[in-house]
Amino acid sequence: MDRWNRWTVGLAVCVFLFLFLGYLVVKPAAVEYPPYLSVSPAPDGTKALALLLKEKRQEVREWKQAWRFLPKGENQVMVAIEPYGLKKEDRDAVLEWVRQGNHLVLFEDDPRDWGNGISTVGINGHQAGKRVIEARGWAADQELAAQVDTPRRLYPGQGDRVLLADSQGALASRYGIGRGSVTVFLTPGWVTNRAILEDSHFALVWPVLNQEWDTVWLDEYHHGRQSDPPLLAVYPGWLVAAGAQLLLGLALWLWWKGKRFGPVYTPRDWVVRRGDETLVAVAGWYERRGLCRDALAHQYGYLRQLFRLRWGMAAEATDQEIVGMAEANWGSERADRLRALFRRQEEVMRGGRYGVKDFLADSREIDGFIKKLEEE
């Protein structure tokens, strides 16, 4: 019994050491997410806000392409939280998208590079800390506490609507552009996982996001999560449409030229192996070799074979016997033509010059009698 206990304890210790050492060796490293990522559960991520948006709204999607590929339509909103790596063409593209009836909600602590109506001023001697925020334009004006770290304030222009402000100036404002609007917050830290539920951050942000948008886009392209645009997205629509029509026309033309209509009576192997292509090749070989006389002899032999098969003529029947039978069946006119053909064949076989043109003329005459016999 003591021995069994020692083995049990020893096995348990070995298993524990194996698992412990394995954990130390292969311990998975924590995933590092960039700040403000909507799928990041890290303190500086925004997953909490993204999940709430998806619970409250049906159409909440991540945007992982450049802003020049933004979808057509109206009443859509792009939520961009501290986007980095922005270029002028990106800003121009999203503002043009806004002019078409869409909206941009921008969380950025220093949006000076945007221009286009977004102006900021620096606050001398600013100290980060908790401040009283005046919320304007909600259901009722109210004052709420929030953490303010940015040393800048928005400088609203004529027609701009100040949404949030403290004693030193505007922290959030909205201005119209075309048929859409741009809303700017200087406080991206409010929407992070660590701060969204602190103080009154959620209450100050949520009324702007919880509106009747058709689609809410969460910008991830400028946080490093990128996907390639569709293959044809780089081409203008008219070019894609023209190319599609040309391809369709080409397909219809190929179908019309290549499709066989009606039943197929001739086996494919006959057409491929012993059909017209083979006949053309054999005819070309006879022509290059100058074997017109031999070709005429083959055709003449086939004609005599048809007389034997159709009329029961003996294999050794003479030309005169065949002509006599032809006169009885076809009449004297066709019989005279057949007699002249047999004489012509005898002259050719004796020798002398015999070219392609002569062969073609004789072959057509023989072919006429062959077709006549095949029809009987």
Give the pTM.
Answer: 0.55
Please report the pLDDT score of residue 140 as a whole number. 47
Cα(101)–Cα(153) distance, integer angstroms: 27
Cα(171)–Cα(364) distance, integer angstroms: 101
Q: Are 99 and 177 spatial neighbours (Cβ–Cβ below 8 Å)? A: yes
Q: Are 209 and 53 spatial neighbours (Cβ–Cβ below 8 Å)? A: yes
CA-closest candidate to residue 169, choices 212, 215, 202, 136:
136
The predicted-structure confidence for 60-109, as pLDDT tens digits, reads as follows 888 888 898 899 889 999 999 999 888 888 899 999 999 999 999 999 98
Q: Are 189 and 204 spatial neighbours (Cβ–Cβ below 8 Å)? A: no
Return the domain boundaries, the chain. 47-228, 268-375
Q: Domain 47-228 is in which class? A: alpha beta
Which alpha helices (DSSP H) does 170-291 contain, by range? 201-209, 237-258, 268-274, 276-289
Other C-beta atoms within 10 Å of 177: how many? 16
**Amino acid letter at 37?**
L
Secondary structure (DSSP) of 88-125: HHHHHHHHHHHHTT-EEEEE-S--TTTBTTB-EEE-TT
- Please tell me the number of Cα atoms within 13 Å of 85 on its side-chain side: 10
State the helix-helix crossing angle for 47-56 and 201-209, rounded to 10 degrees. Answer: 40
Give the pLDDT of the chain (376 residues) as one tens digit per residue.
Answer: 455 566 777 777 777 777 766 666 655 556 677 888 888 888 888 999 889 888 887 688 888 888 988 998 899 999 999 998 888 888 999 999 999 999 999 999 888 878 767 888 888 877 778 888 887 765 445 678 888 888 888 888 777 888 888 888 888 999 888 999 999 999 999 999 998 888 888 888 888 888 888 899 999 988 887 765 556 655 666 777 788 888 888 888 877 776 555 565 666 655 555 556 666 777 777 777 777 888 888 888 888 888 888 888 887 888 888 888 888 888 888 888 888 888 888 888 887 777 878 888 888 888 888 888 888 7
Residue 117 Cα distances to 112, 133, 151, angstroms: 10, 23, 20
Secondary structure (DSSP) of 164-185: EEETTEEEEEEEEETTEEEEEE
Which alpha helices (DSSP H) does the chain contain, by range? 2-26, 47-56, 88-99, 201-209, 237-258, 268-274, 276-289, 292-311, 319-330, 332-350, 356-375
Cα(49)–Cα(19) distance, integer angstroms: 38
Residue found under tokens 């991540």: 62
Angle at 92 between CA 90 and CA 97, to 5 degrees: 95
Cα(340)–Cα(336) distance, integer angstroms: 6
